[in-house]
Amino acid sequence: MKIYNGDGIILGRLASAAAKDALLGEEVRIVNTEKVIISGKKEVVFAYEKQRFNRMGHPARSERHTRTPDRLVRRSVRGMLPWKFTRGKEAYKRVRCYHGIPAEFSTEKLIVLTKESTKKLPTLRYATVREVCKNVGGKSI
């Protein structure tokens, strides 16, 4: 089982690393999902998420959007998987995301992706997943 620490890591890079491990058959856990980073100006990130959340379609068939950080990160991992095939669905079942660090993982060694942190960004313009979810209407954690 691989346990990733999402504190200060860029969302897309974390999701691709988790998806790759899940496709190889590993159980993947991501902790501190509320501290994961989405790069870009806050205003632009908030506007995109708000517009994405307000898209309308057929109510029974339209996509469901979440307002919680753990589900948003898990959904991003799903975007990196071949979802329409059985191996992608099986890999998605092996991915779990958590707020903070649960007691069961407090003694475990966490994987920190140092190359994918905020140090990789050319500017310090970013928003955390917690801020994005709160802006869309989620409850504060």
pLDDT at 139 over 80: no
- pLDDT tens-digit series, residues 39-91: 889 899 889 888 887 777 777 776 677 788 899 899 999 999 998 999 999 99
What amino acid is encoded at 131 in this protein?
Answer: E
pLDDT of amino acid 35: 92
Residue 70: strand, helix, or coil: helix
104 Cβ contact partners less than 8 Å away, ≥ 6 residues apart: none
CB 75 within 8 A of CB 66: yes
Report the pLDDT value the prediction gives residue 15, as an integer from 0 to 100. Answer: 94
The two three-digit tokens of residue 97, written as one number: 């995301």
**Model pLDDT, residue 86:** 95
Q: Residue 124 has what pLDDT? A: 81
pLDDT tens digits for range 92-121 = 999 999 998 999 988 889 989 888 888 777
Signed CA dihedral, 117, 118, 122, 125: sign only: positive
pLDDT of residue 62: 67
Buried (b) or exposed (e) across 67-104, using 16+ Cβ within 10 A? bbbbbbbbbbbbebbeeeeeebeebbebbbbbeeeeee
- Main-chain dihedrals φ then ψ at residue 111, nearest 5 degrees: -90, 125
Token match 């996509």: residue? 63
Residue 69 · residue 133 · CB < 8 Å: yes
